[in-house]
Amino acid sequence: MEPLNRLRRPPKGVISAWTKVRRWIWFWVPWAVLTIWLLNTWLWWLTPLTAFISLFVFVATPTETPPRYGLEHDHSLTTAEILETIAGTTGSPFMAGNSIQVLVNGDQFYPQMLAAIRGAKASITIEAYIYWAGALGLEFADALAERAKAGVPVRILLDAVGSSTIGRDILHRLEGGGCRVAWYNPIRWSLLWHANHRTHRKSLIVDGRIGFTGGAGFADMWRGDARNPSEWRDTQVRVEGPAVAPLQTGFAQNWVQATGEIVSGPAHFPVIEPAGSMTVQTIMSSPQAGASPARLMYYLSIVAARGAIDIANPYFVPDEVAIETLIDAKKRGVRVRIMVSGMHNDNRAARRNSVRLCGQLLEAGIEVWEYNRTMLHQKTMVVDRVWSTIGTANFDSRSFAHNEESNVCIHDAGIAAQLTNNFDDDLKHCDKLDLRKWRRRPFVDRFREFWAWFLEDQV
């Protein structure tokens, strides 16, 4: 039994009165009550509007909330205790016998992904939030169609919102070549309650043995080496070994939801022999589980930190619990560095919220850097130079409470050192946020941040 004083610890993250007001605005019940009341008044003509708002906020309401208890740990990430805790709470065991390769920017990861596709002998599966029209999309479509014509089963699951601009040309090449394309949660009345639930995963699995995941989708802006604003900065990971199986499982579960077809057999789920020496955890996160495994992994890693935390994430919109855990880490003497996308951020609401919230972090002495060379899109974290995660999950409510995500976690000093070196190189293209300048930011910026605040739980 846990000590009584441990159970009586206060919850993490103080929720402000303003946040409670915002959440009431985003709660469907008051709008539904207002609709019923208006029906009995001379203002009945407003009921279509209030009914629509009630329906909209019901669909948009997060299905998952951050944990507020149990975020106190005496073990560091060098101990087996915290690793077993992360494995147990996320439901994702550590698997030995893997080979891991960190791939930086499109010039590195796209050639390897295409080579894996062209070498496929048993199966190819893809789950992608973004597959957009363009030269790169056509190149992948041709490679996939060639394998399908050769008799390799190719299944592609695309998010119905994120990949809506794929274009007829790519679809014709894929389907004409024999690839099976399905859509995750199309926007229609029968699926309306799931309209805000997207798959944000970017997984490519070849022969059930080789897997790729990370921040990049299939689109032209990821080509190149982040040399200018037209070439995005991103990181992918290539996995070979038993840790590929969870990526395939995540695809198979969403495929059967979208199509009614079970993906099975050794072509997709072979007996996987060891391919390397690394122990890897592959986390398939879904808000439908009730608690986001990706969020749990991030938070437990932070509370276990004893030396350093480096977070690179484009859409960094921490909730009250995350802010408090990061500040507590700084108070323990942990060096905390956070890198976000700056002037080239493609989500203005996320950036406004990020700037608004970073004041508390800056006051605590946490370093916040804005990457301004191009759009920073990678989602990585390194803790204590031994624990790393690379994946699709942004550090925000949308990834934790609305989206299907995938992250690969590695307990290895070599991979951690590589990611730390990449982080340090990226700092050369960053501007460090200054607390005094933050406090003096113009009124117009504060006004925009206020309106972005209403969307904090949605971005």
Residue 397 near residue 317, CB atoms below 8 Å? yes
Q: Residues 441, 445, 451, 452: is their CA dihedral positive or negative?
A: negative
CB 310 within 8 A of CB 423: yes
Run of H or E residues at 278 = strand 278-285
Residue 418 class from Cβ within 10 Å (0-12 exposed, 13-18 middle, 19+ buried)?
middle
Please identify which residue in the block is written with the tokens 């009995």. 40
Residue 110: both structure tokens together: 């796209």
The two three-digit tokens of residue 335, written as one number? 């060096």
The pLDDT of residue 1: 41
CATH superfamily of the 106-224+242-273 domain: Endonuclease Chain A (3.30.870.10)
Q: What is the structure's pLDDT at 207?
A: 98
Question: 303 and 77 in contact (C-beta within 8 Å)?
Answer: no
Give pLDDT, residue 8.
57
pLDDT at 452: 81
What fold, for 80-89+283-458?
A: Endonuclease; Chain A (3.30.870)
CA distance 302 to 271: 35
Mean pLDDT per 10-residue segment, the chain (459 residues): 53 79 84 90 90 86 83 82 91 96 98 98 98 98 98 98 96 97 88 81 98 98 97 98 97 96 96 95 88 93 96 95 96 97 92 91 97 97 97 94 95 96 98 95 89 77
Which stretches within 45-102 are classed as H helix? 47-60, 80-90
Q: Please list the residues that pair with 368 across neighbouring strands.
A: 338
Domain residue ranges in the chain:
27-60, 80-89+283-458, 106-224+242-273
Residue 413: burial class (beta carbons within 10 Å; 0-12, 13-18, 19+): middle
Whole-structure pTM value: 0.93
